[in-house]
A and B are shown apart, each in its own frame.
Chain A
Amino acid sequence: MSFHDWLEDDSKTILFDGGLGSELIKRGLTSGKIPDILNIEQSEIISEIHKSYYDAGSDMCQTNTFGSTPLNLSHYNLEIRIEEIIENALENIKKVRLSGCLIVGDIGPTGEFRPPVGNASSDEWYSSFSIQVKLLETGVDLWHIETISDLEEMLTAIRAVRDVSKKPLIASITYKRTKKGFFTIMGDSLEKCVETLNNEDVDVIGANCTLGSNDMLDLLKNAIEFTDKPLSVKPNAGQPVIKGDQTYYEQPINEFVNDIKEMIGVGAKIVGGCCGTSPKTINAIRKIIDSL
């Protein structure tokens, strides 16, 4: 089955993976390094986390390449190692991928804003995304551009993917809740974002991070009004709480999973989790999906 077959099968809800950062913390990797370098330095642990999500029932998991763009890596003086990082990222996920499951090429924000907030230009974004996409293209089944807070940056990333790849693409923006509804921090409304993405060459429109499952449910109910394209949701498991030197996400799994169940009912095609979710969360969602 290909991703397109899944999209066309009305009875199929696609299960994505959950958070990576909180899994790293659990394993004591709290050094403050960019997780992408761990593809090289702790490749076994990265593979183990991917495996735990596939084993928990994810139909597809994403590569550990959220920050693997030259712009982002340059903050850590790691941009010269981008080829090695991405090569290892693909290897780490390929060796644990289960038969019938897919590998998603993960593309996160560059970390640079356009003026007046930062100094990035669209050309800089484009060339940064292009390099990442070209390096990932051979090893992935589809793409996920995620956690983008500027519609302009999203459109640039989409262009960079489409200039290289015909593979399916999920475009996920991150929104905050305001008195007037859901907006990006740059001021684009949910309606504007979804309607804009509706006219782009993307297969699925998504939202991830920032919002907990409760708010994401409301967002989904709104978003569905503006598009006929399939929708993807990856909410956070509430907000992190720090105790001592440890981080905890205290939202009970059943609360999160009940919201996800409702999102499937509303029409979410792809469901998964972002920060604070774990293989346990994904496994609980697997059971819900299988029971529907």
Chain B
Amino acid sequence: MIILTGEEIFKNIVDSIVNLEEDKAVELANEALKKKINLLEVVEKGFSAGIRKVGELWEDGEFFLPELMRGAQIMQKCLDILIPHLQKGSEEISHGKVVIATIEGDIHSIGKTIVATMLRAYGFEVYDLGADVPAEKIIQEAVEKKADIIGVSALLTTTMTGQKKIIEILREKNLMNKFKVILGGAPVTSAWVEECNAHGSAENAIEAVKLVKSLLNK
């Protein structure tokens, strides 16, 4: 039997994620548990480093949607194995809470789901409310979950006004200082973000992760 050091396991984990090898990734997560390797390091130097690499390959046009989603799903499966064994559970690796939804009247969920999946893979606690969700409901959930970030997606130019409505309601209720609001969807531009007084938008899922990290100073 070959005995692997921590550093070697980290490298193998990165490779298993980048090569989209689910069985191998799961095996390595279990091995790390058995060997009592520092699990925070396993997450950070192994799985997170792996998914970052997948994200880079996607941004470079080497990977496409199926690889990106598969990588994030494998990562999620492994985190589900490791998190119960962390001393304080998910809080220990959670970088913050995100409530995300596609706005009312709009059923386009794929972009929003990809962003949610990537944020989860990067260690955020994500509450995905689905598509066609009224602004009031999104805010109610964000308050209940004590979210740091509200992400609102709209793919239709006809439903984008719902993104603005979120901020108007937050202002009316004096809740604007509680959350950072980010906007997503193909028609969203920086001019629209400015007009809505939102906190940002991103071109793609990887940029969205960077945006959320920077908004939360992570």
Q: What is the interface of chain A, defined by CB distance below 8 A to chain B?
A: 21, 24-25, 29-33, 75-76, 111, 113, 116-118, 178-180, 183-187, 239-245, 247
B interface SS class = loop
- Chain B min CB distance to A162 (Å): 26
**B128 contacts the other chain (CB 8 A):** no
| Contact assessment for B195 and A183 in the assembled complex, using a CB-CB cutoff below 8 Å | no
* Main DSSP-derived SS at the A contact region: loop
A117 touches B69 (CB 8 A): yes
Q: With a CB–CB cut-off of 8 A, which chain B residues contact A185?
A: 64-65
Distance in angstroms between the alpha carbons of A163 and B69 in the assembled complex: 33
Q: How far is the CB of B165 from chain A (nearest CB, A)?
A: 11
Residues of chain B having any CB pair with chain A under 8 Å: 60-67, 69-70, 73, 104-108, 110, 114, 131-132, 156-162, 187, 189, 191-192, 195
Across-interface contacts of B73 in A (CB, < 8 A): 116
Residues A25 and B158 in contact, CB atoms below 8 Å apart: yes
- The listed residue with most A CB atoms (<10 A of its CB), out of B65, B106, B132, B161, is B65
Most central of B61, B67, B191, B192 by chain A CB within 10 Å: B61
What residues of chain A lie closer than 8 Å to B62, measured between beta carbons? Answer: 180
Known A-B contacts: A24-B158, A244-B195. Give 17 more (CB < 8 A). A21-B156, A31-B105, A31-B158, A32-B105, A32-B158, A32-B159, A33-B105, A76-B107, A116-B70, A117-B114, A180-B61, A185-B64, A187-B65, A239-B189, A242-B157, A242-B189, A242-B192
Q: Contacts of B195 on A, CB cut-off 8 Å?
A: 242-244
CB-CB nearest in chain A for B164:
A245
Q: Are A117 and B65 in contact (CB under 8 A)?
A: yes
Question: B157 CB to closest chain A CB, in angstroms?
Answer: 4
- Cβ-neighbour of B157 out of A111, A180, A244, A247 (below 8 A): A247
Q: Select B61's contact among A32, A118, A178, beta carbons within 8 Å.
A: A178
Min CB distance A275 to B, Å, is 9
User: Judging by beta carbons under 8 Å apart, are A241 and B65 in contact?
Assistant: no
Question: For the complex, what is the distance from the CA of A186 to the CA of B66, rounded to whole Å?
Answer: 6
CB of B64 within 8 A of CB of A186, answer yes
Q: Are A187 and B67 in contact (CB under 8 A)?
A: yes
A24 to B63, CA, bound (A): 36
CA distance A170 to B187 in the complex (A): 27
- Of the residues B131, B158, B159, B162, contact of A75 by C-beta under 8 Å: B131
